[in-house]
């Protein structure tokens, strides 16, 4: 996402290409994009750069939320899903998408209708497996009854705990992978947390309450506690944050985004680090749903979200 959409100024195409190819070289096999990201430009980027490596990767994209006339639009109608899928196949330069998500639930369209259209894509050989994003356990169960759901992508990190209200257990029960996006708290749990005052006006975090003047100082204080905990354990803060996410269960997959090859390698290094359980437990006590300050989205966006907590803090 952050190579083409919503996070400040996008990197040059050359830098983005270099990052993607480095990821392949470092053994990354799962690449996650969406029609929304850059309103199609990220799918084009991924398709162009990774076309020569298609047999080595799992390619995931999303439908149901796209750019229309310069605006973000949620549209889960079957006809829109079919059209978006064909456009994605062309941009991704592939005959089949390995994992295709419904990016957001369209509250005007029953999830059964949206997933039914996606199931038709599977039957047609255009998609191999289906996923959902930012939905509740109830919606997941309804969708799963129409067609097996392979993955649920919800925000999950030390500071965003919605899955613990139901979907963490439900995905485990149903044999669904829980794909955790923003596992590094949108950059806060890295070695260089963002300064909201210097972010471009177009940066998505500008509109997120947790980055506002009312809440951000308290969240940085919690981050500082975590940094001290990581240092004492002999690991970096990003390693601690990612280790905590992947420790939540064997079916939990973290997908940290980055623009930096150095950060890419640091993120991958968590697979080679053993973090003691007591350190992970301590991290969870420092930052959690009760200690984070502010909701993760503003009111308008919260109204679009189907997860159990609706993104509320506390």
Query: Which pLDDT does position 295 carry in this prediction?
Result: 95
Q: What is the mean pLDDT of the chain?
A: 95
CA angle 52, 57, 63 (to 5 degrees): 100
Query: Which pLDDT does position 187 carry in this prediction?
Result: 95
Superfamily of domain 1-118: NADP-dependent oxidoreductase domain (3.20.20.100)
> Considering 7, 37, 100, 156, which one is annotated as catalytic?
37
Query: Which pLDDT does position 309 carry in this prediction?
Result: 64
Q: Closest Cα partner for 244 from 229, 260, 262, 261?
A: 229
Residue 252: partners with Cβ closer than 8 Å, 6 or more residues away: 156, 168, 177, 178, 180, 245, 246
Whether 37 is catalytic is yes
| Ranges 26-40, 174-188, 213-227, 295-309: which has the least confidence | 295-309
Query: Which pLDDT does position 173 carry in this prediction?
Result: 98
Query: Which pLDDT does position 312 carry in this prediction?
Result: 44
Query: Which pLDDT does position 310 carry in this prediction?
Result: 52
pLDDT tens, residue by residue, 54-107: 999 999 999 999 989 888 999 999 999 999 999 999 999 999 999 999 999 999
| Cα torsion angle, 264, 268, 274, 280, sign | positive
Confidence of residue 153 (pLDDT cuts 50, 70, 90): very high
The CATH architecture to which 134-314 belongs is Alpha-Beta Barrel (3.20)
Structure tokens at 144: 């799963």
Q: Where are the alpha helices (DSSP H) in the chain?
A: 13-25, 41-50, 78-92, 111-123, 137-146, 167-174, 216-233, 237-246, 261-268, 277-286, 299-302
Looking at the chain, which residues constitute the CATH 3.20.20.100 domain(s)? 1-118, 134-314
Q: Name the region of 228 (left: φ>0; alpha: ψ -120 to 50; beta: rest).
A: alpha
Number of residues that make up the chain: 314
DSSP-derived secondary structure for 142-167: HHHHHS-EEEEEEE-BTTB-GGGGTH
Structure tokens at 106: 């369209």
What's the mean pLDDT in 1-30? 92
Whether 314 has a pLDDT exceeding 50, the answer reads no
């Amino acid at each position: 996402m952050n190579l083409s959409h919503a996070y400040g100024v996008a990197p040059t195409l050359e830098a983005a290409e270099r990052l993607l190819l480095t990821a392949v070289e470092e053994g990354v096999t799962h690449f996650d994009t969406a029609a929304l990201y850059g309103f199609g430009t990220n799918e084009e980027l991924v398709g162009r750069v990774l076309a020569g490596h298609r047999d080595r990767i799992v390619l995931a994209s999303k439908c149901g939320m796209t750019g229309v006339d310069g605006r973000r639009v949620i549209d889960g109608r079957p006809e829109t899903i079919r059209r978006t899928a064909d456009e994605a196949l062309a941009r991704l330069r592939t005959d089949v998408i390995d994992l295709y998500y419904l990016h957001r639930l369209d509250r005007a369209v029953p999830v059964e209708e949206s997933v039914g259209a996606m199931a038709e894509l599977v039957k047609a050989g255009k998609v191999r497996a289906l996923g959902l994003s930012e939905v509740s356990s109830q919606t997941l169960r309804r969708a799963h009854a129409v067609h097996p759901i392979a993955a649920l992508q919800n925000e999950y990190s030390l500071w965003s705990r919605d899955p613990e209200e139901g979907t963490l257990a439900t995905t485990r029960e149903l044999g669904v992978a829980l794909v955790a996006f923003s596992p590094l708290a949108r950059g806060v749990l890295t070695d260089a947390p963002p300064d909201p005052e210097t972010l471009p006006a177009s940066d998505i975090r500008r509109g997120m309450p947790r980055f506002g003047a009312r809440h951000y100082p308290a969240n940085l204080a919690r981050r500082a506690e975590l940094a001290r905990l990581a240092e004492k354990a002999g690991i970096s803060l990003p390693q601690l944050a990612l280790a905590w996410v992947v420790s939540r269960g064997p079916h939990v997959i973290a997908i940290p985004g980055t623009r930096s090859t150095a950060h890419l390698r640091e993120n991958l290094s968590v697979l080679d680090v053993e973090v003691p359980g007591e350190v992970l437990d301590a991290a969870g006590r420092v930052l959690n749903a009760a200690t984070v300050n502010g909701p993760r989205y503003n009111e308008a966006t919260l109204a679009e979200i189907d997860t159990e907590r609706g993104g509320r803090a506390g």
